[in-house]
Amino acid sequence: MIHLRRATAGLMMRGTDETSGSLFSYVDLEARIPARHPLRKIRQVVNEALASLDADFEVLYTDFGRPSIAPERLIRASLIQILFSVRSERQLMEQ
């Protein structure tokens, strides 16, 4: 039998949707995408849609267990994979 321990008070198992501007590079990710690139508008629309789903995502997660990857991040990754015709998640992470 698996024993699940309770998380600290107020901590949900839904991962956070925080971004790191530099990630694994010394150049800020915002500087890599031109100001008028179509991805910027797509990101804005997607972020607004995901913000409206925040409460729906919140009720899907419990208050015990290991933290997950934020559903917003997974959806954004899937959209990029579709938009750029990347065949696998492994290729997505490599690219």
Specify if 8 maps to a domain. no
Establish if 3 belongs to a structural domain: no
Instruction: Examine residue 21 and state whether it is found in any structural domain, yes or no.
Output: no
d(CA 55, CA 50): 10
Amino acid at 92: L
User: Is 19 contained in some domain?
Assistant: no
Domain assignment of residue 50, yes or no = yes
- Structural domain includes residue 90: yes
Judge residue 14's burial from the number of C-beta atoms within 10 Å of its C-beta, 0-12 exposed, 13-18 middle, 19 or more buried.
buried
DSSP 8-state secondary structure symbol assigned to residue 62:
-
| Dist CA 44 CA 46 (whole Å) | 6
Q: Show pLDDT as tens, one digit a residue, over the chain (95 residues).
A: 343 433 444 446 776 676 655 555 677 777 888 889 998 999 999 999 999 998 898 888 887 888 888 899 999 999 999 999 999 989 988 88
**Range of 48's domain?**
34-60+67-94
Q: How many domains does the chain have?
A: 1
| 51 in any annotated domain | yes
